[in-house]
Amino acid sequence: MRLLDWAVIVFYLVWIVYDGLRRTKAANEVEGYFLANRSLPWWAAGLSVMATQMSAITLVGTTGQAYADGMRFVQFYFGLPIAMVILSLTIVPFFYRAHVYTAYEYLERRFDSRTRMLASLLFLASRSMSCGVIIAAPALILSIVLGWNLQLTVLAIGVPTAVYTMFGGVQAVAWTDVKQMAVVVSGVLAAVIALILGLPHDVSVGEALHVAGAVGRLRTIDFSFDLTQQYTFWSGTIAGLFLMLSYFGCDQSQVQRYLTAKSVDQARSSLMVSAYVKIPLQALILMMGVLVFVFYLFTAPPMLFRPDYNAKVAASPRAGEFAQLDQQFRADFEHRRQAAHAMAEAQRGGNEQLLASTRATFVDAEARVKATRTKAGAIVKDVTGDAKFNDVNYVFPTFVTTQLPMGLVGLIIAAIFAAAMSASAGEMNALATSTVIDVYRRHVRKTAPDAHYLLVSKLATGFWGLVACVVAIYATSLGSLIEVVNRFGSFFYGSLLGVFVLAIGVKRATSRGAFWGLIAGMSVVAWFAFNTSVAFLWHNLIGVTVVVVVGMLLSLTERRQAPAA
C-alpha cells in the first residue's frame, strides 16, 4: 500500500460518510427515516436492492470460490429471474398497497401478534448473523494489508457504517448505495483488465481460459440431480428459486428497498433490475476469480494464502516440514507452469493429439499442486488448532495487494469497502426498522411522538451494528464467506416464505396453523442442517413445504373442531 492507494481509500470513506450524513434532513420523521417518504425513483431503489445483496462477500468470497471451484456457483442464481417476475406480480403490489413499514406487520393483520413476533424475531436472528459475515469480508482485506488486529479491523468498518446509517436512515442508505454500486463495478472492471494484461505475452485470453477449462474451472452447468451437491442446475433453478422468493419477498432488508419507490409500477421496476443485471454481473465476478486462477498458473502464488497462519507454522516445531513442502510446492508450480504453456501452445497449433497429451500433463501437474497444498493445510490445522482452515477468502486480497499497481490497489479496496458498507448499512437499517416497528412500537410503547421513535431507531441501528461486529469476528473462521451467508439465510428463509404463502395464498389458513407451521418448518430445517448432508439450498424448499403442509393440516383440524354456528 502506497500513499496514492491510501489517498483513494480516505477520499472514498470521507465522501461516502459525508454524503450519508448530509441526508439526515430527509429523515426527521418515521416514514422519512424508514421509507424515504416513498419518494425514490425506480432505478435508485433497484440499485439499492442490488447493493444490499451484493456485499464485499461477492467480491472476496465469490472470487475465491471461482478460483477454487470455477464458474459452477453461477447456477445459484438461475432461479432469480423467475423469482423476480413472480414477486413483481404478487408480493410487491400487495405490500406496497398495504402501507406497511415491515413485511411482518401484515402477518398480524392476517393471523395474530405472536406469528408476527416470531417471524420478525427469525428475521432479526438471520439478518444480524448475515450482516456480521458481510462485515467480515472487508475485515479480512484490511487485516492483511495493515497487519491490524482482526477485532480492531472489524470495528473500523462496522462503526462508521453504523454512524451514517443511524443518522441518515433509508435515504442515506439508498443514495449512497447508488454511488457505491458505481465504485464496485469500476473496481471489478479494473481488476479484470489488470488480470488480462498480466497474462504472458505469448498466451492469449482464449488459450489461458482453455487451460483453465481442462481442470473444470469453466464448467458452468451441472445437470446431475444430487441433493448433496451445493451447485447444480436443479438446486439453483428449483431450490434457488425458493431462496430468492424468500429473500426478496420476505426479508425486510429487501422489502424495505422497494417500499421506498414512488409507485407500485416503479417498485416492480426496481425489483426487475436484479432480474436483468444480477446474473451477468455475478458471472463477470466469477470470471474474475477464474482469471485469478489463470494468472497464478503463470505467476508463482504463495503455497497458502493466509500469511498469519504461515507465520504461526514457521514458529512451530513443524516449521522444517512446512518449509520442505514449500520447496516441493515451488517445484510443482514450475512443472504446472510449463505444462500450462505447453497446452496453450498446443491449443494455438490445433494439433488434437498433442493437445490431448499436454492436457493430461497439465491436469496431473494441477493435481500435484493441489495435493501439496492439502498437506500444507493439514500442518496448519495441526499447529493452529483451526480444524476448519480454508484460505479461499484470502486469494483475491493477496492478488490485489501483491500484484496490482499503485492506485489500482486503492480503487479495488475502496470497491470492497463500498460493497461492504452498502450491504451492511441496508441491513442495519432493516434490522432497526423491524426492531422498532414490530417489537418496540407494538409491545413496549404503542404511542409516542416521531422524535421518540427516531431516537429508538438510531439506538437500535447502533446496537445491531455492534452485534454484527461480534458475529464478524467469528465468521472469518467459517470457510467460504459467500457460502456462509447463504447458509445462514437458507436456515430461516424457507420457513418464513411458507408462512407468507399461508397468509397470502391460502384463505383457510388460521393463526394457529401459521404459528405452529412456522415452528415445525424451522425444526425440520434444523434437523436436516445438523443431521444430513443435504445441500443448504434445498433447506429453503424443505422449510416452505413443511410450513405449508403443517399449517394447512392444523388449520383444517381447527375448523373441523369448531362448534357449528
Cα–Cα distance measured from residue 493 to residue 485, given in angstroms and rounded to the nearest whole number = 12
Asked if residue 200 and residue 79 are part of one domain, the reply reads: yes
Asked if residue 373 and residue 349 are part of one domain, the reply reads: yes
Q: Decide: helix, strand or coil at residue 57.
A: helix
Residue at 124 is within a domain? yes
Asked if residue 410 and residue 374 are part of one domain, the reply reads: no
Asked if residue 206 and residue 314 are part of one domain, the reply reads: no
Residue at 554 is within a domain? no
- Pairwise pLDDT comparison (368 vs 185), residue with the higher score: 368
- Give whole-number Cα distances, 533 to 64, 340, 539, 542, in Å: 23, 36, 11, 14
Residue at 291 is within a domain? yes
- Give whole-number Cα distances, 381 to 306, 312, 375, 378, 386, in Å: 12, 11, 10, 5, 5
Q: Where is mean pLDDT largest: 15-24, 146-155, 303-312, 325-334?
A: 325-334
What's the pLDDT at 483? 59
- Pairwise pLDDT comparison (473 vs 102), residue with the higher score: 102
Asked if residue 234 and residue 371 are part of one domain, the reply reads: no
- Do the beta carbons of residue 75 and residue 300 sit within 8 Å? no
Measured from the Cβ of residue 195, the count of other Cβ atoms closer than 10 Å reads: 23
Asked if residue 270 and residue 404 are part of one domain, the reply reads: yes
111-146 confidence digits (pLDDT tens): 999 999 999 999 998 888 888 878 877 787 677 766
Residue at 525 is within a domain? no
Residue at 499 is within a domain? no
Domain boundary at 390, 411, 438, which?
390
What's the pLDDT at 322? 93
- Looking from the CA of 260 toward its CB, the CA atoms found within 13 Å total 34
63 Cβ contact list (under 8 Å, min separation 6) = 285, 286, 288, 289, 292, 395, 396
Domain boundary at 372, 390, 408, which?
390
Range of the domain at 468: 3-296+399-475
What's the pLDDT at 565? 40
Asked if residue 157 and residue 36 are part of one domain, the reply reads: yes
Asked if residue 345 and residue 213 are part of one domain, the reply reads: no
Asked if residue 174 and residue 46 are part of one domain, the reply reads: yes
502-526 confidence digits (pLDDT tens): 998 888 899 999 999 999 999 999 9
Confidence of residue 564 (pLDDT cuts 50, 70, 90): very low
Rg (CA), the chain: 25
Cell of 48: 439499492
Exposed/middle/buried for 149, CB within 10 Å: 0-12, 13-18, 19+?
A: exposed
Residue at 254 is within a domain? yes
Domain boundary at 390, 410, 445, which?
390
Asked if residue 254 and residue 163 are part of one domain, the reply reads: yes
Residue at 541 is within a domain? no
> In what helix (H) or strand (E) does residue 269 lie, and over which residues does it extend?
helix 264-298
Residue at 485 is within a domain? no
> Closest by alpha carbon to 489, among 108, 90, 131, 178?
131
Asked if residue 380 and residue 405 are part of one domain, the reply reads: no
Look at the chain and report how many structural domains it folds into: 2
